[in-house]
Amino acid sequence: MLTNKLALAVLIGGLTVGGTAIATDKSDADAAIAAAKAAQQAASSVGGEWRDTGKLIEAAEKAVAEGNFGTAVDLAKQAEGQGMLGKDQALGQRGVGNPKYLYN
């Protein structure tokens, strides 16, 4: 699982550093935003939504409204990655609890 998280982090970093994704129209941006919202919902359902995921989705929607479809796709993919990582994090930490010495 750590390998998957690392690979996803590298992918997200590559998208961030790599610049604007190739998006030719609004439908590409809308699809990316829909995927980001689905990942956000999945993370939220297990209590793992990260702080900036919603902000990234809002920024992507604003970019679409301004006609910056490539930027919107980049932002939406970052939000989708955060959603997936947040869900994995929440599920990985489920039931871990605090150390026993805190309860003595």
**Structural domain contains residue 70:** yes
Domain membership flag for residue 100:
no
The amino acid occupying position 10 is V
Residue 99 in any domain: the answer is no
| Residue 78 confidence (pLDDT) | 98
* Token code pair at residue 80: 């989708």
Domain count within the chain: 1
Tell me the pLDDT of the chain (104 aa) as tens digits: 555 665 566 556 555 555 554 546 899 999 999 999 999 999 999 999 999 999 999 999 999 999 999 999 999 999 999 999 999 999 998 888 878 787 76
Q: Considering the domain boundaries, does residue 102 fall inside one?
A: no
Q: Which domain holds residue 45?
A: 2-94
Per-residue DSSP letter, 22: -
